[in-house]
Chain A
Amino acid sequence: MSRRFRLCVLALGLLAFAALFTAACAELPPFGGDRHPYGDRAVHAALLRHTANTVSAVNFDQRALDTLGEESILFASVLGTVVLLRQTSDEHRTVPKPSPVPDRTRRYGLLALPVTLLIGLYVVAHGQLSPGGGFQGGVVVATAVHLLYIAVDYRALERVRPLGPYEIADAAGEAAYVLTGAGGLLAGAAYLANVLPYGTFNTLSSGGTVPLLNAAVGVEVAAAVVVLLARFLGQALEIEGDEDRGEGKG
């Protein structure tokens, strides 16, 4: 297929999509409208279960099975990335030389690290109350760890980041979610049913299983992002293929 022909096919497809989509937009309920039947019911159900952040209630209670699927996609893609970016037998590792870090960067980084870590943990813990939760907080926690690379250097990052425990934590988060779901079966209800007492509205322990599932996701996401970035950093900075040695010879 020539490039020109391919572009023609592409243009045809894009134009057809644009025409159909624009026509569909005219039929969609107008932006900002007042009719949200699903939303209203979801809010009602969330309040019945004493969960202040209704988005978390949808994610970890009403649609908990869907989140299990999403989480499994996350788990599988981390697994795939780890396999694809592993060190093969024809590659070797070189430790990158430490480079001097400006004092200001170092001070800022070392100051920002604990603050960011704390914010991340706060966001995970308060997922059932205020905006946030395991998905967002997990990413923030993982980012905080990498401030060490900016503030000090790569070897310092490697010292606080033994990959093994993080890989185990990733799997443990996934397992905790599955087992919490099975708790529903043991209690005689459906899988992932919210069987714990709902607690007092707008307190940390409210929402039944929502905080537990939230924490499981937080652990998994934080570990997953740390493992992913570690693999990419390893490939970009440390691992060299056999062909790279050609540089030295030539």
Chain B
Amino acid sequence: MDDVLGGLALLFVAAAATAAVLNRDPARQALVLSLLGLGLAVLFTVLQAPDVGLSQLAVGSAITPLMILLTVRKVRRIGRGRQAEDDGKGRSR
């Protein structure tokens, strides 16, 4: 039973890691990363490491993706601001 669950968790983690890397859009990548964090937490629990599973659950599935999403939002706002500035300059010329 543990073997099957462990094997499944391993394969899920490998797949989620691959998906997280291949998703080139950072906002979507953040969602896949939180799935990966969840999968890792399950895997660690199956490997009898509840301590690590707990911290992975809190950090990997919540904090890191949230920070990435906030960064994406900030970077997009900067990009939009620059675009508006460029447009403004073009019009005034």
Contact = CB atoms under 8 A, between A and B. Distances in A.
A241 interface: yes
Nearest to A135: B55
Contact of A250 (B63, B77, B84): B84
A243 B54 contact: no
Contacts of A233: 70
B27 interface: no
A131 B52 CA distance: 9
A139 B59 contact: yes
Interface residues of A, number: 27
B81 A229 contact: no
Contacts of B71: 232, 236
A55 B51 contact: yes
B67 to A, nearest CB: 5
A136 interface: yes
A229 B63 contact: yes
B9 interface: no
B70 A235 contact: yes
A233 B78 CA distance: 15
Which size class do B's interface residues fall under?
20 to 34
Contacts of B82: 243
Nearest to A241: B81
B88 A249 contact: yes
A208 interface: no
A87 interface: no
B73 interface: yes
Given A229-B66, A229-B67, A236-B73, A131 B84 contact: no
Nearest to A228: B67
A247 B55 contact: no
Given A139-B63, A229-B63, A240 B54 contact: no
B62 interface: yes
Contacts of A136: 51, 54-55, 58
Interface of B: 50-51, 53-55, 58-59, 62-63, 66-67, 70-71, 73-74, 77-78, 80-82, 84-85, 87-88, 91
Interface of A: 53, 55-56, 123, 131-133, 135-136, 139-140, 143, 225, 228-229, 232-233, 235-236, 240-241, 243-244, 246-247, 249-250
